[in-house]
């Protein structure tokens, strides 16, 4: 076990985990952050050409101004910004070192990790902050063939799909943007959505584009339709008019993501059975397991459309304040 007793271990070095690290540091508390991937791992895996929906000042953490070339930041600008902020505050981030689990109680937790060499390490800390996000866990369609190599739950860029028959599943921003980019890169795109129409949450600058492409027949769309089965060279759709078979080369199932509730539950996080939200103190974000705090999108449980970087970034301050107070009383 590493010798020093840390004030806190932060699990996850996304925007929220970094905000937690910064706010702890500002208060003179010692923290280590761990990420199973790289710094801001989720953002790194977002679509290559993504443009944030949010203006830059709403993505800022640690009081460091963010600027961007256009009206809204692109992925690369956000990646550079968060990296510079982490460097500025000299955050102690262990990348590529997943947290396997932790035991203990306030004042004496032991956090277990595995580093890149496959070594299992243990760190002692007084408090634990879980800022593990949701992007690792796609919402699966749960249909036969979903495990075929041509199926992905992550869209990166359109260029490999020129002259291919591509199915995009979903009716929100990610599905609409992917369908548009794929169409413009020369793929034959079919969009399938289980509801009657595209989601109301589609951004106002994306909606007319996708609706016009569908109206013009440039993107084929099936509403109130689900995927029944994925076969190596086709897909079976269940439409209001019955089942149809479509020629298919690739499937993008962009039906959202959810937090690793098993990991959370295994570590004593209690979920509200009605809403599926983790139970936390609304002020401090301490969970029902004393000394363990939740930060960022995990606070919303399955309601991942409620917490973004925009509002999750403020969790760091609340948790750091609570930990500072609690440190003085144990
Ligand atoms: C395409 C897309 C566009 C978006 N656009 C916007 C936008 O414009 N504005 C906005 O505010 N929000 C936007 N969001 C949402 C926003 O990106 C997320 O809400 C935000 O990343 C959540 O931050 P987080 O720190 O809670 O989680 P994450 O950024 O997901 O960070 C969690 C981290 O925890 C790590 N982790 C998980 N488990 C472990 C473990 N056991 N051990 C170690 N590390 C672990 C992960 O690798 C990850 O790096 C967008 C999301 C997507 C998918």
User: SS3 string of 17-55?
Assistant: HHHHHHHHHHCCCCEEEECCCCCCHHHHCCCCCCECCCC
Which residues have a Cβ under 8 Å from the Cβ of 156 and sit 6 or more positions away?
45, 47, 48
pTM, to two decimals: 0.96
CB atoms within 10 A of CB 222: 20
Q: Is 157 in the pocket of ligand 1 (CB under 6 A)?
A: no
Residue 111 confidence (pLDDT)? 98
Q: Mark whether 120 and 17 lie in a shared domain.
A: yes
Contact yes or no for 39/91 (Cβ under 8 A): no
Pairing type for strands 31-34 and 93-94 reads: parallel
Contact yes or no for 68/56 (Cβ under 8 A): yes
Q: Mark whether 197 and 313 lie in a shared domain.
A: no
Euclidean distance between CA atoms 71 and 203, whole angstroms: 15
With the most atoms of ligand 1 within 8 angstroms of its CB, the residue from 133, 135, 152 to mutate is 133
Tokens 């020093």 correspond to 4
Q: Is 115 in the pocket of ligand 1 (CB under 6 A)?
A: no
CB atoms within 10 A of CB 26: 14
Rounded to the nearest 5°, which phi and psi values hold at 180?
-65, -45
Q: Is 259 in the pocket of ligand 1 (CB under 6 A)?
A: no
> Is residue 246 included in any domain, yes or no?
yes
Tell me: the pLDDT tens digits for 127-181? 999 999 999 999 999 999 999 999 999 999 999 999 999 999 999 999 999 999 9
Q: Give the tokens for residue 192.
A: 């399938």
Contact yes or no for 278/271 (Cβ under 8 A): yes
Kind and range of the H or E element at 9? strand 5-11
- Ligand 1 centroid – CA 38 distance (Å): 12
Q: Mark whether 115 and 37 lie in a shared domain.
A: yes
Q: Give the tokens for residue 200.
A: 């109301």
15 CA: nearest ligand 1 atom: 25
Residue 276 confidence (pLDDT)? 83
- Ligand 1 centroid – CA 159 distance (Å): 25
- Ligand 1 centroid – CA 244 distance (Å): 36
Low-confidence ranges of the chain (pLDDT < 70): 1-2
Residue 1 confidence (pLDDT)? 65
Contact yes or no for 20/295 (Cβ under 8 A): yes
Question: What interhelical angle do 315-327 and 15-26 show, nearest 10?
Answer: 40
Q: Mark whether 128 and 275 lie in a shared domain.
A: yes
Number of structural domains in the chain? 2
Q: Mark whether 93 and 107 lie in a shared domain.
A: yes
Q: Is 21 in the pocket of ligand 1 (CB under 6 A)?
A: no
Residue 158 confidence (pLDDT)? 98
Tell me: the pLDDT tens digits for 220-249? 999 999 999 999 999 999 999 999 999 999
The boundaries of the domain holding residue 220 are: 151-253
Contact yes or no for 206/195 (Cβ under 8 A): no
50 CA: nearest ligand 1 atom: 1
Q: Mark whether 128 and 167 lie in a shared domain.
A: no
Q: Is 173 in the pocket of ligand 1 (CB under 6 A)?
A: no
Q: Mark whether 192 and 211 lie in a shared domain.
A: yes
The last residue of one of the domains, among 236, 253, 270, is: 253
The DSSP secondary-structure symbol of 59 reads G
Q: Is 257 in the pocket of ligand 1 (CB under 6 A)?
A: no
Residue 229 confidence (pLDDT)? 98
């Amino acid at each position: 076990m590493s010798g020093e007793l840390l004030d806190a271990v932060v699990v996850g070095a996304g925007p929220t985990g970094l905000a937690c690290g910064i706010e702890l540091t500002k208060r003179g508390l010692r923290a280590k952050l761990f990420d199973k991937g790289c710094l801001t791992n989720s953002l790194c895996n977002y679509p290559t050409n993504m443009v944030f929906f949010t203006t830059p000042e709403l993505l800022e953490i640690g009081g460091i101004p963010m600027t961007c070339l256009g009206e809204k930041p692109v992925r690369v600008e956000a990646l550079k910004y968060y990296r510079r902020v982490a460097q500025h505050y000299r955050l102690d981030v262990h990348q590529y070192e997943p947290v396997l689990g932790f035991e203990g109680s306030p004042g004496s937790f032991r956090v277990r990790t595995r580093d890149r060499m496959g070594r299992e390490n243990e760190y002692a800390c007084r408090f634990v902050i879980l800022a593990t996000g949701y992007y690792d866990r796609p919402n699966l369609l749960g249909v036969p063939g979903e495990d075929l190599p041509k199926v992905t739950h992550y869209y990166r860029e359109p260029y490999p799909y020129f002259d291919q028959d591509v199915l995009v599943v979903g009716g929100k921003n990610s599905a609409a943007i992917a369908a548009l980019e794929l169409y413009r890169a020369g793929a034959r795109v079919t969009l399938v959505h289980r509801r009657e129409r595209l989601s109301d949450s589609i951004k106002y600058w994306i909606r007319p584009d996708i609706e016009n492409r569908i109206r013009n027949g440039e993107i084929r769309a099936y509403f109130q339709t689900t995927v029944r089965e994925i076969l190596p060279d086709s897909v079976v759709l269940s439409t209001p008019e019955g089942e149809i078979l479509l020629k298919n080369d690739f499937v993008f199932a962009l039906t959202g993501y959810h937090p690793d509730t098993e990991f959370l539950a295994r570590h004593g996080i209690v979920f509200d059975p009605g809403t599926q939200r983790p139970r936390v103190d609304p002020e401090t974000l301490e969970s029902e397991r004393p000394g363990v705090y939740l930060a960022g999108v995990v606070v919303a449980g399955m309601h991942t459309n409620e917490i973004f970087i925009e509002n999750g970034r403020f969790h760091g301050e609340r948790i750091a304040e609570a930990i500072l107070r609690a440190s003085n009383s144990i």
